[in-house]
Protein backbone atom coordinates (compact mmCIF):
# COMPACT_ATOMS: atom_id res chain seq x y z
CA UNK A 1 0.00 0.00 0.00
CA UNK A 2 1.40 3.39 -1.00
CA UNK A 3 0.91 6.07 1.63
CA UNK A 4 0.97 9.61 0.28
CA UNK A 5 1.89 12.70 2.26
CA UNK A 6 -1.80 13.60 2.21
CA UNK A 7 -2.69 10.20 3.69
CA UNK A 8 -0.05 10.56 6.42
CA UNK A 9 -1.34 14.03 7.28
CA UNK A 10 -4.89 12.74 7.39
CA UNK A 11 -3.97 9.88 9.73
CA UNK A 12 -2.00 12.25 11.99
CA UNK A 13 -4.97 14.64 12.14
CA UNK A 14 -7.34 11.78 12.95
CA UNK A 15 -5.09 10.80 15.85
CA UNK A 16 -4.81 14.39 17.06
CA UNK A 17 -8.59 14.82 16.86
CA UNK A 18 -9.27 11.57 18.71
CA UNK A 19 -6.78 12.48 21.43
CA UNK A 20 -8.39 15.91 21.76
CA UNK A 21 -11.82 14.27 22.18
CA UNK A 22 -10.42 12.09 24.95
CA UNK A 23 -8.75 15.14 26.53
CA UNK A 24 -12.05 17.00 26.50
CA UNK A 25 -13.58 14.11 28.40
CA UNK A 26 -10.68 14.08 30.87
CA UNK A 27 -11.05 17.82 31.43
CA UNK A 28 -14.73 17.32 32.19
CA UNK A 29 -13.90 14.54 34.65
CA UNK A 30 -11.27 16.72 36.31
CA UNK A 31 -13.78 19.59 36.62
CA UNK A 32 -16.16 17.14 38.32
CA UNK A 33 -13.44 16.20 40.82
CA UNK A 34 -12.56 12.83 39.30
CA UNK A 35 -8.80 12.21 39.42
CA UNK A 36 -7.15 11.81 36.01
CA UNK A 37 -3.62 11.00 34.92
CA UNK A 38 -1.11 13.80 35.25
CA UNK A 39 0.62 13.83 31.86
CA UNK A 40 3.76 15.20 33.51
CA UNK A 41 4.20 11.69 34.93
CA UNK A 42 4.21 10.31 31.38
CA UNK A 43 6.87 12.88 30.52
CA UNK A 44 8.84 11.91 33.61
CA UNK A 45 8.63 8.24 32.60
CA UNK A 46 9.78 9.02 29.05
CA UNK A 47 12.48 11.36 30.33
CA UNK A 48 14.02 8.55 32.38
CA UNK A 49 14.31 6.31 29.31
CA UNK A 50 17.52 8.05 28.27
CA UNK A 51 19.08 6.71 31.47
CA UNK A 52 17.83 3.21 30.71
CA UNK A 53 15.09 3.29 33.35
CA UNK A 54 11.82 1.92 31.99
CA UNK A 55 10.09 0.92 35.24
CA UNK A 56 9.46 2.80 38.46
CA UNK A 57 8.24 1.69 41.85
CA UNK A 58 6.16 4.89 41.98
CA UNK A 59 6.51 7.48 39.20
CA UNK A 60 5.37 10.28 41.52
CA UNK A 61 8.45 9.65 43.68
CA UNK A 62 10.87 9.47 40.75
CA UNK A 63 13.06 12.53 40.24
CA UNK A 64 11.39 15.09 37.97
CA UNK A 65 12.89 15.66 34.52
CA UNK A 66 13.21 18.99 32.80
CA UNK A 67 10.22 19.71 30.55
CA UNK A 68 8.32 16.64 31.73
CA UNK A 69 4.89 18.19 31.27
CA UNK A 70 5.57 19.19 27.65
CA UNK A 71 7.19 15.81 27.02
CA UNK A 72 4.15 14.06 28.48
CA UNK A 73 1.74 16.00 26.28
CA UNK A 74 3.88 15.35 23.20
CA UNK A 75 4.03 11.62 23.95
CA UNK A 76 0.27 11.57 24.57
CA UNK A 77 -0.48 13.08 21.15
CA UNK A 78 2.17 11.01 19.34
CA UNK A 79 0.60 7.89 20.83
CA UNK A 80 -2.81 9.02 19.59
CA UNK A 81 -1.38 9.43 16.09
CA UNK A 82 0.23 5.99 16.30
CA UNK A 83 -3.08 4.44 17.32
CA UNK A 84 -4.78 6.17 14.37
CA UNK A 85 -2.10 4.66 12.13
CA UNK A 86 -2.87 1.26 13.66
CA UNK A 87 -6.54 1.70 12.77
CA UNK A 88 -5.66 2.53 9.17
CA UNK A 89 -3.14 -0.34 9.02
CA UNK A 90 -5.86 -2.77 10.16
CA UNK A 91 -8.78 -1.43 8.11
CA UNK A 92 -7.06 0.33 5.21
CA UNK A 93 -6.95 3.90 4.04
CA UNK A 94 -10.42 3.38 2.61
CA UNK A 95 -11.68 3.52 6.19
CA UNK A 96 -10.42 7.12 6.46
CA UNK A 97 -12.29 8.01 3.25
CA UNK A 98 -15.53 6.39 4.48
CA UNK A 99 -15.25 6.10 8.26
CA UNK A 100 -17.34 3.56 10.10
CA UNK A 101 -17.89 3.69 13.86
CA UNK A 102 -17.39 0.01 14.74
CA UNK A 103 -13.75 -0.32 13.54
CA UNK A 104 -12.85 2.92 15.35
CA UNK A 105 -14.49 1.73 18.57
CA UNK A 106 -12.80 -1.68 18.32
CA UNK A 107 -9.36 -0.16 17.87
CA UNK A 108 -9.92 2.61 20.41
CA UNK A 109 -11.17 0.18 23.02
CA UNK A 110 -8.34 -2.23 22.19
CA UNK A 111 -5.76 0.45 22.87
CA UNK A 112 -6.60 0.14 26.57
CA UNK A 113 -4.09 -2.72 26.54
CA UNK A 114 -1.31 -0.09 26.42
CA UNK A 115 -2.03 1.44 29.82
CA UNK A 116 -3.07 -1.84 31.43
CA UNK A 117 -0.05 -3.85 30.27
CA UNK A 118 2.68 -1.25 29.69
CA UNK A 119 2.15 2.16 31.28
CA UNK A 120 0.55 1.22 34.58
CA UNK A 121 3.17 -1.44 35.37
CA UNK A 122 5.99 0.87 34.25
CA UNK A 123 4.70 3.71 36.43
CA UNK A 124 4.47 1.47 39.49
CA UNK A 125 0.73 0.72 39.52
CA UNK A 126 1.08 -2.89 38.38
CA UNK A 127 -0.65 -4.71 35.55
CA UNK A 128 -4.18 -3.33 35.20
CA UNK A 129 -3.60 -1.09 38.24
CA UNK A 130 -3.54 -4.10 40.58
CA UNK A 131 -1.20 -2.29 43.02
CA UNK A 132 -3.58 0.63 43.50
CA UNK A 133 -6.33 0.97 46.10
CA UNK A 134 -9.07 0.77 43.42
CA UNK A 135 -7.84 -1.39 40.52
CA UNK A 136 -11.28 -2.20 39.08
CA UNK A 137 -12.37 1.45 39.12
CA UNK A 138 -9.06 2.50 37.52
CA UNK A 139 -9.39 -0.15 34.82
CA UNK A 140 -12.98 0.83 34.08
CA UNK A 141 -11.92 4.48 33.82
CA UNK A 142 -9.16 3.54 31.39
CA UNK A 143 -11.62 1.48 29.37
CA UNK A 144 -14.08 4.39 29.23
CA UNK A 145 -11.32 6.81 28.23
CA UNK A 146 -10.06 4.58 25.45
CA UNK A 147 -13.60 3.83 24.23
CA UNK A 148 -14.10 7.58 23.98
CA UNK A 149 -10.79 7.78 22.11
CA UNK A 150 -12.28 5.24 19.66
CA UNK A 151 -15.33 7.46 19.18
CA UNK A 152 -12.88 10.33 18.65
CA UNK A 153 -11.13 8.35 15.90
CA UNK A 154 -14.44 8.08 14.10
CA UNK A 155 -15.41 11.72 14.70
CA UNK A 156 -11.97 12.95 13.64
CA UNK A 157 -12.09 10.92 10.44
CA UNK A 158 -15.65 12.08 9.67
CA UNK A 159 -14.67 15.72 10.20
CA UNK A 160 -11.84 15.34 7.68
CA UNK A 161 -13.88 13.71 4.92
CA UNK A 162 -14.93 17.03 3.32
CA UNK A 163 -11.36 18.35 3.51
CA UNK A 164 -9.62 15.39 1.91
CA UNK A 165 -12.18 13.78 -0.44
Does residue 147 contact residue 107 with C-beta atoms inside 8 Å?
no
Q: Write the pLDDT tens digit of every residue in 43-88.
A: 999 999 999 999 999 999 999 999 999 999 999 999 999 999 999 9
At 135, the pLDDT band (50, 70, 90 cuts) reads very high
At 41, the pLDDT band (50, 70, 90 cuts) reads very high
- Rounded Cα distance between 162 and 35, Å, is 37
Q: Give pLDDT, residue 128.
A: 96
* 119-132 burial: b if 16+ Cβ within 10 Å, else e: bbbbbbbeebbeee
Amino acid sequence: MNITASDALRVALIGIGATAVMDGWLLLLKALGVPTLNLAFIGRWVGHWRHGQWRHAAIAKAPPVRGEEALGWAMHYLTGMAFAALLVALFGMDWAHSPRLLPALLVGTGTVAAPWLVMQPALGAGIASRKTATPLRNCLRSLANHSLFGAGLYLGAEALVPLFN
